[in-house]
Structure 1
Amino acid sequence: MIDALHLHTNNTIPIDELMASAVGEYTKERPFPADRFKTVPLWKKLWNERRLKKLINKLLDDIEPYLPEIKEHRDAPSELSASTLNALKVLVTGTMHAIDAEHLLFERPFLTHFIDQGYLDVAEAFIFKASKEDGQLSHEEVFQALRNVWIMNSLQLCWNLPLELTPPIYAYSMLYPYTDNLLDNPMISPETKDDFNQRLGKALAGERLSSNDKAEQRIFTLVEHISTHFPPTRFPLVTESIQLIHEGQVKSLLQSNGMSLDQEEIRTISFFKGGTSVLADAYLVKGTLTSDEMAFAFHYGAFLQLLDDLQDKETDEEVGSQTLFSSKKDKAAVDQEIRRLITYIFTVNKREPEESVPFSRMKDVISQCTLLMVMEAVGKSPGSVTQSLYKELETFSHVRLTFYKELENRLSEIFKNE
């Protein structure tokens, strides 16, 4: 692992060492890894865009006969007929295979890799279970939780474990929409949030609590499900990892409480929250971790958090949430942060001689997919960066950066007129 980390897993998680390593890797001066990217000429980008439009239009046309049934059961996907579900999966996977076969978004078949490993099957199982247990969750909230399921699935593949929706994966992922929405809601007072955080801390420590608030009671129930699968007496580091992400969420409230933070404080909060999030994912996937597994999970969570902050830059600016991107008004400073983020991602995911083939493959998938997400974020907010960085990133993209927003809008038409 990078920097030959020497972490000890005896009785407690070495959070200070993990933090120092992650921040150190991020802030270390390195050349931008432009040599890792392939230049795509403009004519090829335009051709890729035309093919993508054609494939998406065909997908939308093919799905149209099923839309009445989909709309009828939007809040209860389990009620869709088996024939409809199978037909939709065939259409979606066929489109993804075509995108990969023609290298329209990636040089290598990353979308096909996800399909072949069973990501869509897990997603279907998760959506079915989530909708059955709580029909009041919005589609955005379910997708928010599903994103965490996919992160945990990626860890399963990294470590050659069966890709499946385990009870701890389900319970922990469902905590996200409930806790995040409560803590991020500007309409809820800081006092109410503090009170909730204190009760949640007690629940995470093993105390059985009940609440008259439906969402809060659901959170406590999910925590109990995790404790049942990983009893704290046998898996104390699983419990500790969840307590750490809770601590990270509490710390992150400082980013939006009106108090001005300097860049080091913002970075520390972001790395702690992001790193501990995927560290908890990892513990809930495996139960126990080696030093290198801990380090990789923490790095993974850190750069995913920064990627989220980049994507949410404009929203965070509007609500006054301080991140490494929203706190910068100078385009050159934003450029520098983005370059540092990309360099960090590719450093963390550098192939190591001793690692398994599945791990190396998954690292490659993570690197390329997160790079695309950076490009997508810049394409949606071109005014946030200099023309120089915009053009450089677009050079490596398989489509023009503005096309990512167009593609997203086109796909969203599937769900219009609910």
Structure 2
Amino acid sequence: MLKNIDYLNDLYSNMWWKTSAKLNINMKKISYLEKKKREKTLEVFIDKIIKHIGEFPKDVEERKVWRNTGNKYVDKMIEVEDTFRLGTLDKKMKEQFFKSTKIFINTCREFDENIEYKDIGQAMRNVWIVNIFQKIIGRDIEFSKAIFGYSMLYPYTDNYLDDTKVTLKSKNDFNKRFSKRLSGENIEAKDSYEEKVYKLVECIEEVFNRVDYPKVYEGLLLIQQGQEKSLYEQESVSMPYERDMLNISIEKGGASVLVDGYLVCGELTKEEEIFAYGYGFLLQLCDDLQDVNSDLEKNHMTIISQLAGKYNLDKIINKLINIIIDIVDNATCFKGENIKELKELIKNNCITMVLFAIVDSKEYFSKEYIKVISSYLPFTLSYIDGIEIKFKKKFKALKPSYHGVKVEDILMYLFEVE
């Protein structure tokens, strides 16, 4: 197993406890008028996209022109968009980023024609993390079969292990067989579902052989160990300090992005490993905050769900925001051009993700805290509260299909690569 994992776990455990619980956010506050302006810009963009979908042509050749027009809408939105700072991406990075996304979507549909779009979206997030890491270490953004295989393991394994209808015994049996497959054993799949999971491992093996790139597979096994530990979260409600939930989050999240790094170049420097592990840890805590309601419903324990409803989450989320800033600002592995801009992009996106998650679970925070963080949000609180219902209502105006093509497939067509 990876030799430096204990060092990385201790590093980020100590960092967590030493990080201040006082909010030290360094983003600029957004005025009410600016929020309303952004809301209007987003509304116009969504309306334009919905109108464009409704104009999906019957003629196959005309569809290419239709797709190019749609891509121009997206490009224009990115230029003026300021919520996630995507406008700071240089043209080359933007083009490579979208090409990687399009190829991934196509590959997903080729791999499993019945895959649900939410699963593609879940896996796509990891593809984007890999792409960001490629840029961090000064490489061009590109897609590979190994990136596909690893990213798709998320929906295929996480969703199975999170399924409350599946017994713990079945989950443990799956984990035992999957661990053997990750170790290189020739395991026969129990069913068609496991067969797909093992094929995804093959995608990684085709790019990185086990002899020359052992860390790739050591990292995958470390993640699997984290999955097995996380099953403890599902067994029963636990009290703080009864189980080491912090270390579970550090190792589960850290190992995840560590493998992303290995899938970029097979080996990482010490500085790259330190940042990858920390980046994974903070993303895991962001996930835990986003999932706090569903975790409580399912009795899944994390350092956040353990406290939610018992104490206000104000201070623990202050620590999360502060540790995001600390990890990104002090990273020494960034290479290439526009390092400052790339750090700001990563940092601001993570913090914005946290802010939206706070609003989505505001019942676990003090009213004073919500008032403080609202000044950093890109939209007004009332707009964010109703945004999901508003957009669902807009998309309901569309027909289920146009010229025999489902709306979901039309959206995917926008991202297809010729």
Measure, in 1, the Cα distance between the counterparts of 2:257 and 2:273: 9
The structural deviation recorded for 1:31 is 6.5
| TM-score (normalised: structure 2) | 0.87
Q: Map 1:196-215 to 2 at 5 A.
A: 196-215=174-193
- Partner residue in 2 for 1:244: 222
The structural deviation recorded for 1:410 is 4.5
On the 8 A contact 1:279/1:298 being kept in 2, the answer is yes
Measure, in 2, the Cα distance between the counterparts of 1:12 and 1:388: 44
Deviations 1:229-287 (A, max 9, x none): 21111111111011101111111111111152534611111111111111111111110
On the 8 A contact 2:25/2:321 being kept in 1, the answer is no
The structural deviation recorded for 1:122 is 1.3
Deviations 1:332-388 (A, max 9, x none): 541111101100100001055784344443221111011111111122222221112
**Change over 3 Å in CA distance of 1:353–1:286 after alignment to 2:** closer
Measure, in 1, the Cα distance between the counterparts of 2:391 and 2:165: 32
On the 8 A contact 2:25/2:322 being kept in 1, the answer is no
Q: Map 1:216-231 to 2 at 5 A.
A: 216-231=194-209
Measure, in 2, the Cα distance between the counterparts of 1:345 and 1:243: 26
- Partner residue in 1 for 2:15: 25
- Partner residue in 2 for 1:394: 374
Q: Map 1:74-89 to 2 at 5 A.
A: 81-89=63-71
Q: Classify the secondary structure of the residue corresponding to 2:329.
A: coil
**Counterpart amino acid of residue 12 in structure 1:** L
On the 8 A contact 1:62/1:91 being kept in 2, the answer is no
**Change over 3 Å in CA distance of 1:186–1:112 after alignment to 2:** farther
**Counterpart amino acid of residue 307 in structure 1:** C
- Partner residue in 2 for 1:121: 99
1:185 paired with 2:163, answer yes
1:348 paired with 2:321, answer no
Measure, in 2, the Cα distance between the counterparts of 1:155 and 1:80: 37
**Change over 3 Å in CA distance of 1:35–1:137 after alignment to 2:** closer
1:149 paired with 2:131, answer no
1:49 paired with 2:19, answer no
On the 8 A contact 1:13/1:241 being kept in 2, the answer is no
**Which of 281, 287, 310 is the equivalent residue of 1:302?**
281
**Which of 373, 395, 409 is the equivalent residue of 2:353?**
373
The structural deviation recorded for 1:172 is 0.5
**Which of 251, 273, 287 is the equivalent residue of 1:272?**
251
Structure number with the bigger relative contact order (C-alpha 8 A, sep ≥ 6) is: 2
The structural deviation recorded for 1:26 is 1.8
On the 8 A contact 2:157/2:197 being kept in 1, the answer is yes
On the 8 A contact 1:93/1:115 being kept in 2, the answer is no
Q: Which stretches in structure 2 are left out of the alignment for 5+ residues?
A: 401-418
**Which of 116, 130, 136 is the equivalent residue of 1:138?**
116
On the 8 A contact 1:13/1:237 being kept in 2, the answer is no
On the 8 A contact 1:270/1:305 being kept in 2, the answer is yes
Measure, in 2, the Cα distance between the counterparts of 1:294 and 1:156: 13
Measure, in 2, the Cα distance between the counterparts of 1:123 and 1:354: 25
Deviations 1:187-214 (A, max 9, x none): 1111111111111111111112222411
**Which of 6, 27, 41 is the equivalent residue of 1:16?**
6
**Which of 282, 285, 288 is the equivalent residue of 2:261?**
282
- Partner residue in 2 for 1:91: 73
Measure, in 2, the Cα distance between the counterparts of 1:125 and 1:395: 38
| TM-score (normalised: structure 1) | 0.87
Measure, in 2, the Cα distance between the counterparts of 1:414 and 1:339: 36
Measure, in 2, the Cα distance between the counterparts of 1:293 and 1:127: 28
Measure, in 1, the Cα distance between the counterparts of 2:62 and 2:279: 36
Measure, in 1, the Cα distance between the counterparts of 2:61 and 2:354: 37
- Partner residue in 2 for 1:6: none
Measure, in 2, the Cα distance between the counterparts of 1:223 and 1:184: 20
**Counterpart amino acid of residue 399 in structure 1:** F
Percent identical residues: 30
- Partner residue in 2 for 1:61: 51
**Counterpart amino acid of residue 74 in structure 2:** V
On the 8 A contact 2:135/2:141 being kept in 1, the answer is yes
**Counterpart amino acid of residue 137 in structure 2:** W
Measure, in 2, the Cα distance between the counterparts of 1:110 and 1:303: 23
The structural deviation recorded for 1:32 is 4.1
Measure, in 2, the Cα distance between the counterparts of 1:166 and 1:298: 22
Measure, in 2, the Cα distance between the counterparts of 1:365 and 1:109: 10
Measure, in 1, the Cα distance between the counterparts of 2:76 and 2:259: 34
Measure, in 1, the Cα distance between the counterparts of 2:34 and 2:23: 23
The structural deviation recorded for 1:47 is 2.9
Equivalenced residues, count: 395
Measure, in 2, the Cα distance between the counterparts of 1:32 and 1:109: 31
1:232 paired with 2:195, answer no
**Change over 3 Å in CA distance of 1:46–1:268 after alignment to 2:** same
On the 8 A contact 1:379/1:402 being kept in 2, the answer is no
C-alpha RMSD of matched pairs (Å): 2.6
Q: Which stretches in structure 1 are left out of the alignment for 5+ residues?
A: 1-10, 70-77
Q: Classify the secondary structure of the residue corresponding to 2:189.
A: coil
Q: Classify the secondary structure of the residue corresponding to 2:381.
A: coil
Task: State which drifts further: 259-268 or 307-316.
Answer: 259-268
**Change over 3 Å in CA distance of 1:417–1:317 after alignment to 2:** farther
